[in-house]
């Protein structure tokens, strides 16, 4: 009788294990560096000024963008429009964090056919900086884009260039404020 009870218990146990829900792997969760991208989520309006020079005419800039988390919460997608000396330009930016390189990234496209992939962005304190190397008219050029996250609803920005190792010169500067 004891043997029958043990065999029945084993049979019952193994049959319930066979029909148990399979072990589910836990979905990856965004780390603290990725969560910092939440700063951008919302609707923003900006204004600024471009400096005249070899990269374009001087003039006023105005922009509006709306940023949302992409499914999964690992990237922020921003869509917007900018009006400046070269006319109206629509854009789409994808902000992310590269865990392997320990750096922020931004992929951008525009309605003027531009595309850019910025890597190695750093966020130190409240300042986000991207350094981009490009070839401009046969000369090496470094572009530096810096945002100062002044508050949760206001950031300032500055774009600069150094061509052929020359000192940095300003291309544009401005301010962006969260409106929603």
Tens of pLDDT, residues 136-164 = 778 889 999 999 999 999 999 999 999 98
Whether 109 has a pLDDT exceeding 70, the answer reads: yes
Whole-number Å distance between alpha carbons of 25 and 175: 44
Q: 10 lies in a domain?
A: no
Looking at residue 39, what DSSP letter applies? G
Tens of pLDDT, residues 30-41 = 999 999 999 999
Tens of pLDDT, residues 42-89 = 999 999 999 987 778 999 999 999 999 999 999 999 999 999 999 999
How confident is the prediction for the chain on average, in pLDDT?
Answer: 88
For residue 149, give every residue at least 6 positions away whose Cβ sits within 8 Å of its Cβ, in sequence order, or none.
39, 126, 127, 128, 155
The structure tokens listed for 58 are 């001087």
User: Total structural domains in the chain?
Assistant: 1
Q: Report the pLDDT value the prediction gives residue 136, as an integer from 0 to 100.
A: 77
Task: Give the structural domain span for 49.
Answer: 29-178
- Distances 25 to 22, 28, 72, 139 between C-alpha atoms, Å: 10, 9, 15, 50
Whether 173 has a pLDDT exceeding 70, the answer reads: yes
Confidence of residue 13 (pLDDT cuts 50, 70, 90): very low
Query: Is 129 within 8 Å of 148 (Cβ atoms)?
Result: no
What would the mean pLDDT of 105-109 be, rounded to a whole number? 96
The structure tokens listed for 164 are 């052929």
- Distances 164 to 136, 142, 143, 146, 171 between C-alpha atoms, Å: 9, 8, 11, 20, 16
Candidates 82, 84, 81, 83; CA nearest to 57 is: 84
Q: 122 lies in a domain?
A: yes
The structure tokens listed for 38 are 């939440």
The structure tokens listed for 31 are 């780390």
Q: 97 lies in a domain?
A: yes
Whole-number Å distance between alpha carbons of 38 and 73: 9
CATH number at residue 97: 2.40.128.20
Q: 45 lies in a domain?
A: yes
Phi, psi of 165 (to 5 degrees): 85, 5
For residue 66, give every residue at least 6 positions away whose Cβ sits within 8 Å of its Cβ, in sequence order, or none.
42, 43, 44, 78, 79, 80, 180
Q: 63 lies in a domain?
A: yes
Q: Is the dihedral of CA 84, 176, 106, 80 positive or negative?
A: negative
Whole-number Å distance between alpha carbons of 158 and 145: 6
**How much of the chain exceeds pLDDT 70, in percent?**
87
- Three-state secondary-structure class, residue 54: coil
Q: 55 lies in a domain?
A: yes
Q: 11 lies in a domain?
A: no
Q: 121 lies in a domain?
A: yes
Q: Report the pLDDT value the prediction gives residue 7, as an integer from 0 to 100.
A: 43
């Amino acid at each position: 009788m004891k043997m029958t009870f043990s065999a029945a218990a084993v049979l019952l146990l193994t049959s319930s294990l066979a029909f148990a829900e399979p072990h589910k792997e836990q979905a990856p969760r965004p780390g603290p560096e990725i969560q910092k991208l939440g700063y951008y989520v919302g609707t923003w309006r900006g204004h600024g000024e471009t400096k005249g020079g070899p990269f374009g005419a001087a003039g006023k800039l105005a922009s509006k963008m709306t940023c949302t988390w992409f499914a999964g919460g690992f990237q922020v997608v921003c869509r917007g429009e900018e009006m400046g000396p070269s006319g109206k330009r629509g854009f789409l930016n994808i902000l992310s964090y590269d865990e392997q390189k320990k750096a922020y990234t931004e992929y951008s496209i525009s309605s003027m056919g531009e595309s850019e992939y910025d890597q190695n962005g750093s966020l130190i304190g409240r300042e986000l900086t991207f350094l981009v190397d490009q070839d401009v008219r046969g000369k090496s050029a470094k572009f530096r884009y810096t945002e100062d996250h002044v508050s949760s609803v206001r950031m300032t920005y500055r774009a600069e260039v150094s061509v052929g190792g020359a000192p940095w010169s300003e291309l544009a500067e401005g301010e962006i404020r969260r409106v929603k």
